[in-house]
């Protein structure tokens, strides 16, 4: 009985799988069809939703990647709503032609140096020989390395590199300017390393920096400004009355911080950052320091305040170390000091009559209506720093000041018969400006500021001004055996010196003034005061500087050959 009941029960279950059962019962067949269709729709809908979801996720991932790439391209430019980005500016064929002209000028300057003064510090074009103005450190050779590389002059760069590797020797019984040696030699070698990745440049930079370090061994940490490269004994120039010079003492921070980052040895950074810490303890309310500082007490001596000679680059480096440090909280005190100094600068600004040229006075108790051409770096500095103000109105104010000062500096050139600027200018009521010291030694400061203003505003006027200055150099300073300065910008009488900074700065800034913005972009590189670009790296004081004695190798920052006029492709 039990078995028959089980069999009959099983038959009862299986009948529902028999089609004949439903054919005899239409209502149940209809219910089954409805159930099947409903289940099918649910399953299909879930699969469709899953596919749509995956598709949407894929699209969102692509969009996120695209936005990340865009963010990487524009980076800090978005911080400033009033500073225009040049990413979308198309390459101008006129700019390309002008770049080529500047490149040809560099080839002429370099080939003249190579022919008549190879390995010496500077060329004397009129007598067709060389002179060791900096103790035989190959100043022009090292100053020109990065310019050659940026312009794509590979053969010339490689030949110079071989000289550095085989002939550059710093073991000299020579009392070197710590300032000039740092900005030209240390800066030039580090820039060549950052651009090419060739560690011979880093090794040489480390060698010369080690020879400079004893200069900081003072009671206060404010360095002496002259040091013997062989014996290490340091002192200050007698004409400074035993004091250290502001610019000479506060313009090593970029190079020595960069050296610590690239070698992993903190000693270089520690020396130079102590200088800023000491000065910041008693930094004046207006942020303006006299040009002489006592190296024992770190107290300023009563002397001139100026944005020209002996003061200039101290203020420049307050801003640039902040930029070089990725604008992080670690370097915020640099920015704070710089902003305080810029407020102080406003107290030195006057306008001439009748033409309302804006200029920066010097101060020695009272204001002196005199401005050095050296102070024409200030428009570029102000433009570079304008976007960092938390108040956009402040940024606009200082950008406007930068543009006004650039117009004055351009007129330093336009106001002379040769269209080249004198060394300094005096301003007199009712007669605008007049040349003071009338020589021109191929200085770069005005074209430097034009470069920054062009990159940061996209105003082509600055390119036109730069081109006019370049043509004036071509007309008045170019001779068969190189480039010379002028003893007098009024008469055009020539001197006998091709300054190394003409190749390092003047021609480089002119070249970059007409180059695509992907050549040394300002959000990835910082120029030292000798126009040597240093690559911005993530700043990590706790990690990078513990790797003592370990060389941090770099890949070349640019591929070897992209266009006939130079390298423009980023990594």
Tens of pLDDT, residue by residue over 449-508, are: 999 999 999 999 999 999 999 999 999 999 999 999 999 999 999 999 999 999 999 999
Buried/exposed code over 48-57 (b: 16+ C-beta within 10 A; e: otherwise): eeeeeeeeee
Whether the per-residue pLDDT at 136 is higher than 60: the answer is: yes
Cα-Cα end-to-end distance for the chain: 88
pTM of the predicted structure, to 2 decimals: 0.82
Task: Give the pLDDT confidence of 201-248 residue by residue, as tens digits.
Answer: 999 999 999 999 999 999 999 999 999 999 999 999 999 999 999 999
For residue 134, what pLDDT band results from cuts at 50, 70 and 90? very high
For residue 549, what pLDDT band results from cuts at 50, 70 and 90? very low
Task: Give the pLDDT confidence of 50-108 residue by residue, as tens digits.
Answer: 666 566 656 666 665 665 555 554 444 434 433 343 444 457 899 999 999 999 999 99
Q: What is the rounded distance in angstroms from the CA atom of residue 520 to the CA atom of residue 4?
A: 94
Per the listing, tokens 């006299």 go with 290
Whether the per-residue pLDDT at 261 is higher than 60: the answer is: yes
For residue 551, what pLDDT band results from cuts at 50, 70 and 90? very low
Whether the per-residue pLDDT at 560 is higher than 90: the answer is: no
Q: Phi and psi of 233, rounded to 5°?
A: -80, 135
Please answer whether residues 275 and 253 qualify as being in contact, where contact means their C-beta atoms are separated by less than 8 angstroms. Answer: yes
Residue 255, helix vs strand vs coil: helix
Q: What is the full DSSP assignment across 298-354?
A: -PBPS--B-SSTTTHHHHHHHHHHHHHTTT-GGGHHHHHHHHHHHHHHHTTEEE-TT
Three-class HEC string of 384-413: HHHCCCCCHHHHHHHHHHHHHHHHHHHHHH
Catalytic residue positions, numbered: 180, 312, 423, 445
- Stretch among 128-142, 388-402, 526-540 having the lowest mean pLDDT: 526-540
- Please report the pLDDT score of residue 37 as a whole number: 72
Please answer whether residues 72 and 541 qualify as being in contact, where contact means their C-beta atoms are separated by less than 8 angstroms. Answer: no
- Please report the pLDDT score of residue 14 as a whole number: 61
Q: Residue 152: name the closest of 196, 89, 210, 207 by CA.
A: 196
For residue 354, what pLDDT band results from cuts at 50, 70 and 90? very high
Please answer whether residues 305 and 327 qualify as being in contact, where contact means their C-beta atoms are separated by less than 8 angstroms. Answer: no
CA of residue 508 relative to chain centroid, distance: 12
Q: What is the rounded distance in angstroms from the CA atom of residue 191 to the CA atom of residue 557?
A: 10
Residue 509, helix vs strand vs coil: helix
Prior bond of 234 cis (ω within 30°): no
Per the listing, tokens 């006129």 go with 94
Q: What is the rounded distance in angstroms from the CA atom of residue 309 to the CA atom of residue 408?
A: 18
Q: What is the rounded distance in angstroms from the CA atom of residue 359 to the CA atom of residue 371?
A: 7
Q: What is the mean pLDDT of residues 262-269?
A: 98
- Please report the pLDDT score of residue 39 as a whole number: 72
């Amino acid at each position: 009985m039990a078995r028959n009941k089980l069999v009959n029960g099983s038959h009862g279950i299986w009948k529902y799988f028999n089609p004949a059962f439903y054919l005899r019962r239409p209502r149940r067949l209809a219910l089954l069809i409805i159930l099947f269709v409903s289940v099918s729709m649910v399953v299909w809908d879930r699969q469709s939703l899953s596919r749509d979801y995956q598709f949407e996720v894929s699209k969102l991932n692509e969009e996120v990647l695209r936005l990340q790439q865009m963010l990487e391209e524009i980076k800090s430019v978005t911080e400033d709503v009033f500073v225009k980005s040049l990413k979308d500016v198309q390459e101008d064929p006129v700019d390309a032609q002008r770049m080529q002209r500047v490149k040809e000028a560099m080839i002429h300057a370099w080939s003249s140096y190579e022919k008549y003064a190879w390995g010496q510090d500077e060329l004397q074009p009129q007598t067709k020989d060389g002179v060791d103005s900096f103790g035989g450190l190959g100043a022009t050779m090292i100053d020109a390395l990065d310019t050659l590389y940026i312009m794509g002059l590979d053969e010339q760069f490689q030949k110079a590199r071989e000289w550095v590797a085989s002939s550059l020797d710093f073991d000299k019984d020579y009392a070197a300017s710590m300032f000039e040696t740092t900005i030209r030699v240390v800066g030039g070698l580090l820039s060549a390393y950052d651009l090419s990745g060739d560690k011979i440049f880093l090794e040489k930079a480390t060698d010369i920096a080690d020879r400079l370090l004893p200069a900081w061994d003072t009671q206060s940490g404010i360095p002496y400004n002259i040091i013997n490269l062989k014996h290490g004994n340091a002192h200050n120039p007698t004409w400074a009355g035993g004091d250290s010079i502001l610019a000479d003492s506060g313009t090593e921070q970029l190079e020595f911080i960069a050296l610590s980052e690239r070698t992993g040895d903190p000693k270089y950074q520690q020396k130079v950052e102590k200088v800023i810490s000491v000065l910041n303890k008693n930094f004046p309310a207006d942020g303006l320091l006299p040009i002489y500082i006592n190296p024992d007490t770190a107290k300023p001596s009563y002397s001139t305040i100026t944005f020209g000679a002996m003061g200039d680059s101290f203020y420049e480096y307050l801003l640039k170390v902040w930029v070089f440090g990725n604008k992080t909280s670690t370097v915020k005190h640099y920015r704070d000091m710089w902003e305080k100094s810029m407020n102080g600068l406003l107290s030195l600004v006057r306008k001439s009559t009748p033409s309302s040229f804006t200029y920066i006075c010097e101060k020695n108790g009272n204001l002196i209506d005199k401005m050095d051409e050296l102070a024409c770096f200030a428009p570029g500095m102000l433009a570079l720093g304008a976007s960092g103000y938390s108040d956009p109105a402040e940024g606009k104010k200082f950008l406007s000041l930068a543009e006004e000062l650039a117009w004055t500096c351009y007129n330093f050139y336009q106001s002379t018969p040769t269209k080249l600027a004198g060394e300094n200018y005096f301003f007199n009521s009712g007669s605008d400006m007049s040349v003071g010291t009338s020589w021109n030694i191929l200085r770069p400061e005005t074209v430097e500021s034009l470069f920054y203003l062009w990159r940061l505003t996209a105003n082509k006027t600055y390119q036109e001004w730069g081109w006019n200055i370049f043509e004036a150099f071509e007309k008045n300073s170019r001779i068969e055996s190189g480039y010379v300065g002028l003893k007098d910008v009024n008469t055009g009488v020539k001197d006998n010196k091709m300054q190394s900074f003409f190749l390092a700065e003047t021609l480089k800034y002119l070249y970059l003034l007409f180059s695509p913005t992907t050549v040394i972009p300002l959000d990835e590189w910082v120029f030292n005061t000798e126009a040597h670009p240093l690559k911005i790296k993530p700043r990590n004081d706790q990690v990078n500087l513990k790797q003592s004695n370990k060389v941090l190798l770099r890949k070349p920052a640019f591929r070897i050959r992209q266009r006939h006029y130079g390298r423009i492709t980023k990594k």
